[in-house]
Amino acid sequence: MRVDNKTVWITGASSGIGEGLAYLLNKRNCKLILSSRKASELEKVKKACANPDAIFILPLDLLEFDSMTEKTQQAIAAFGPIDILINNAGISQRSLLINTDFEVYKRLINVNYLGTVALTKAVLPHFISKKSGYFVTITSLMGKFGSPYRSGYCGAKHALHGFFDVLRMEHEKDGIGVTLICPGFVQTNVAKNALTADGSQQQKDDDATQQGLSVADLGERMILAVERGKFEAYIGKKEVMGIYLKRFFPKLLHKVVMRSTVR
């Protein structure tokens, strides 16, 4: 599958990975529906695109589960049938499990997992009716193995893998595909926006994030994975080795992670 000229809906498109994908896909003549909670920031992304006329702004909050059917109808009305939904919106965490308020775990699950499930469920009948469609869900390497200070984030990302693996199995017969993108460290504001133990934002970056992949590099590699129809794609630097250590040498991975200075 080529992504060129497709109609693509991107969540979390006001910054970071979603913003970078908007620029790349706009250059490939895609019609884009851009969503996030921040309409003003989405307008800035639209204006920065090479072809802003091919972009529709659709504000969306993943916590408003009951609005997803209406939002999906609005997205379809923008350019006609949707070809690809990119589930990108989410929030990270930086806090020790023992110190973390339960409300923080609820927010992480509601945003990263249930909000994505709610939107996917709203779009799924549309894909079934036209016998084609593609879900691209951005999880994380933390959806495949764990790391301290990210217990709730890891839990939510692991849950996405279970849900979308089953979606692929149940709806392959309907012409629907699923690719799970598992990035490592990427140069975004994910660490600054991460929730701490009391639910407040961390508001500071870390060295690992600053030294991660550029958004543009991740985007290009992500598009290639989708076009190749990969079930999962692990995209990053040396942290990607954690995938293979987890599979073959889980105790060694435990030791490596425990020696890491990443927080």
**Using an 8 Å Cβ cutoff, are 95 and 149 in contact?**
yes
DSSP 240: G
All residues at 6 or more sequence positions from 45 whose CB lies less than 8 Å from its CB, including other chains: 13, 14, 19, 22, 23, 34, 55
Number of Cβ within a 10 Å radius of residue 14 = 24
Q: Which residue type occupies 79?
A: F
Give the C-alpha separation, 236 to 241, whole Å.
9
Q: Tokens 């309907």 map to which residue? A: 174
Residue of 113, 134, 153, 234 marked catalytic: 153
**Using an 8 Å Cβ cutoff, are 106 and 155 in contact?**
no
Catalytic residue list contains 153 = yes
The catalytic residue positions are 153
